[in-house]
């Protein structure tokens, strides 16, 4: 009922997340899109100059986390403001593992495993919370990062952070191209895994839980387990993204994972259309393009204070306007449990 109304109001068709699995599968053969994407990225890395390659790599790293977050928030209805902290977990794990063993594949694996474990702990708590309570808890997680790094400064070296030791890229590949390849390999694998997951039984369970927990329970879905699993999957993606960021910057510090990062991620998935993996790609692109644009604008204006801050304002305004003008993404989420009585 409400769905129909919203479709009419917003004009644009709401992404049909609840379509039957068979109908969705016919629409896009996922593996073809992934292969095409890989070919496109490969071609781009040979055409672009080094700095653009670095930016391309950053888009890939962002795509890992926005894809995971859009599945959690868009398909399972859990809003997390703590994904910046999860990325920090992955980044620090990679840095510590790299500096100790200098084995890149193992370090990435470890980063994902550790972040998944942390995500499981948060997810266990999150599965019992709804709406603003969950947002507040995950916000607290995001804010605690600098506190953790300064309390255990022997391990994390407080505000200075750690540098990441890396082997030189194999052969004669330039560093930036190597970074772009690795980041996009991670991103495409993540997206493929998420697509397969979302189109299967698990995706259906997640959407059922999002739409109506009671009905999902009656249909034999284990609501709590589905929610924890969704959080764990999304945390693993964030861990990989964080590790990729550490690999890109060759250093980690709490300043790289501020609260605004978590808010940017939310903005990215909201603008792209919640629950849509293509939307996650648009979001990841925006996360790289908008700051670059506002940076060059600030340099043109010659104002030191505009740097960074202009991007904040643009992101904020876009977020508010999208939410007010086209709430189609978020509006499809219904929390019947907590807010049955509307004002």
Partner 1 sequence: MNEFIYLTFDGLSRGAVYAAFALALVLIWRAARIVNFAQGAMAVAAVYVAYSVTNATGSYWLGFVAAIVTGLVLGVTVERVVMRFVDHSSPLNGVVVALGLVLVIQGVLGIFYGNEFLPVAAPFSRDAFELGGVAVLSRYDLFVFVAVGAVVAALTLLFTRTPVGLRMRAAAFAPDVSRLLGVSVGGMLTLGWALAAAVGSLAGMLVVPTELGLHPTAMDVVFISAFTAAVVGGLDSPIGAVVGGLIVGLLLSYVSGYVEPTVAPMAVLLLLVVVLLGKPGGLFSSSKARVA
Binding site for partner 1 (CB under 8 A): 2, 73, 77, 79, 81, 125, 128-133, 135-137, 139-141, 143-144, 146-148, 150-151, 258-260, 263, 266-267, 270, 303-306, 308-320, 323-324, 327, 330-331, 333-335, 337-343
Q: Which is nearer to partner 1, 84 or 186 (CB)?
A: 84
Instruction: Find the shortest distance in angstroms from Cβ 98 to partner 1.
Output: 26
Instruction: Find the shortest distance in angstroms from Cβ 97 to partner 1.
Output: 24
Q: Which is nearer to partner 1, 60 or 68 (CB)?
A: 68
Q: 79: which 2 tokens?
A: 């809003």
Cα 241 from Cα 246, distance rounded (Å): 9
Cα 255 from Cα 168, distance rounded (Å): 26
CA distances (Å), 340 to each of 57, 210, 217, in order? 44, 14, 18
Other Cβ atoms closer than 10 A to 41: 20
Q: Which is nearer to partner 1, 182 or 228 (CB)?
A: 228
Instruction: Find the shortest distance in angstroms from Cβ 17 to partner 1.
Output: 14
Instruction: Find the shortest distance in angstroms from Cβ 91 to partner 1.
Output: 19
Owner of token pair 């202009």: 310
Q: Which is nearer to partner 1, 198 or 333 (CB)?
A: 333
Q: Which is nearer to partner 1, 132 or 174 (CB)?
A: 132
Q: Which is nearer to partner 1, 23 or 324 (CB)?
A: 324
Instruction: Find the shortest distance in angstroms from Cβ 12 to partner 1.
Output: 15
Cα 127 from Cα 59, distance rounded (Å): 30
Pairing of strands 251-252, 162-163: antiparallel
Conformation bin of residue 161: beta by default, left when phi > 0, alpha when psi is -120 to 50: left
Cα 3 from Cα 14, distance rounded (Å): 8
Instruction: Find the shortest distance in angstroms from Cβ 336 to partner 1.
Output: 10
Cα 266 from Cα 80, distance rounded (Å): 8
């Amino acid at each position: 009922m409400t769905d129909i109304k919203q479709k009419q109001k917003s004009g644009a068709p709401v992404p049909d997340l609840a379509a039957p699995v068979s109908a969705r599968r016919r629409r896009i053969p996922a593996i073809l899109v992934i292969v095409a994407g890989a070919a496109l990225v490969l071609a781009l890395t040979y055409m672009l100059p080094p700095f653009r390659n670095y930016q391309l790599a950053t888009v890939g790293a962002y795509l890992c986390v926005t894809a995971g977050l859009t599945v959690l928030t868009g398909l399972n209805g859990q809003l997390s403001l703590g994904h910046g902290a999860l990325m920090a977990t992955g980044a620090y794990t990679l840095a510590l593992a790299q500096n100790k063993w200098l084995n890149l594949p193992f370090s990435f694996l470890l980063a994902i495993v550790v972040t998944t474990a942390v995500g499981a702990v948060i997810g266990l708590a999150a599965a019992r919370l709804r709406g603003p309570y969950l947002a507040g808890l995950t916000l607290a997680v995001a804010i605690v990062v600098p506190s953790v790094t300064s309390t255990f400064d022997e391990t994390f070296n407080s505000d200075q952070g750690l540098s990441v030791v890396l082997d030189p890229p194999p052969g004669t590949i330039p560093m930036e191209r190597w970074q772009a390849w690795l980041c996009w390999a991670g991103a495409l694998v993540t997206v493929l895994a998420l697509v397969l997951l979302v189109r299967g039984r698990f995706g259906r369970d997640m959407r059922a839980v999002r739409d109506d927990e009671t009905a999902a329970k009656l249909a034999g879905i284990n609501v709590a387990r589905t929610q924890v699993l969704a959080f764990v999957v999304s945390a693993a993606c964030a861990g990989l993204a964080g590790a990729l960021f550490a690999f890109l910057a060759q250093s980690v510090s709490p300043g790289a994972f501020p609260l605004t990062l978590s808010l940017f991620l939310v903005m990215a998935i909201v603008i792209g259309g919640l629950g849509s993996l293509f939307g996650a790609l648009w979001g990841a692109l925006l996360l790289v393009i908008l700051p670059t644009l506002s940076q060059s604008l600030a340099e043109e204006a010659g104002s030191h204070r505009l740097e960074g801050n202009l991007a904040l304002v643009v992101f904020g305004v876009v977020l508010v306007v999208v939410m007010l003008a086209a709430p189609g993404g978020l509006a499809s989420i219904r929390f019947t449990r907590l807010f049955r009585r509307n004002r």
